[in-house]
Amino acid sequence: MTEDSASSPFDSLAYRRALGGFGTGVALVAAHDREGRAHGLIVNSLTSVSLHPPIMLWCLANSCAAFGVFTDAAAFSMNILRSGDEAVARQFSRRGDRIIPPDQVCTMETGGPVLPAAVASLDCRRRLRQPMGDHEVIYGDVVAYRGDPGVDALGFFRGQYVTLKSGS
């Protein structure tokens, strides 16, 4: 914080712009609701916590309309989107219907919904939920995964979708 910003009120918009300087991948977290419908949500808060055992985390806004779906789910998947999947990213980052059509998902070990066309998918069992500020941090044990090496991924930088090039 600069000296000026320490004495002025917190500017959430300027803070978001500053955070936009950190480029991220774009991932869709998916989980089934109690009726068995797959729901999807775009996140950029996906983080590897541990390799041994493999543990991932992601953050869910308390204000999310599907909060209960994702916090109640015993299993979820993290699906890293392909370059060119901007329409998917936009659809599942908007408020409203987050249901993924059954023909667009498959399952792996946990039975949770997985996107078969993703660059990579991590099939997780929920380990822990932890409230933090205006979000819930959700940790998961990775029980299965798949990847499509050599495929470019969708990224997000300074408010724009970008392509993250593969190293091949």
Q: What is the 3-state secondary structure (H, E, C) of 59-81?
A: EEECCCCCHHHHHHCCEEEEEEC
DSSP run (H or E) holding 165 = none
Residue 7: predicted pLDDT = 60
44-78 pLDDT, tens per residue?
789 999 999 999 999 999 999 999 999 999 999 99
pLDDT at 147: 93
Tokens representing 26? 């774009």
Give the pLDDT mean for 28-35: 96
- Tell me the pLDDT tens digit for each residue of 103-160: 999 999 999 999 999 999 999 999 999 999 999 999 999 999 999 888 999 999 888 8
CB of 30 closer than 8 Å to CB of 118: no
Read off the amino acid at residue 133: G
Q: What is the pLDDT of residue 34?
A: 94
Residues in Cβ contact with 116 at an 8 Å cutoff, skipping those fewer than 6 apart = 105, 106
CB 149 within 8 Å of CB 165: no
Query: How far is the CA of 50 from the CAs of 40, 56, 106, 109, 147, in angstroms?
Result: 24, 7, 26, 20, 18
Give the pLDDT band (50/70/90) at residue 3: very low
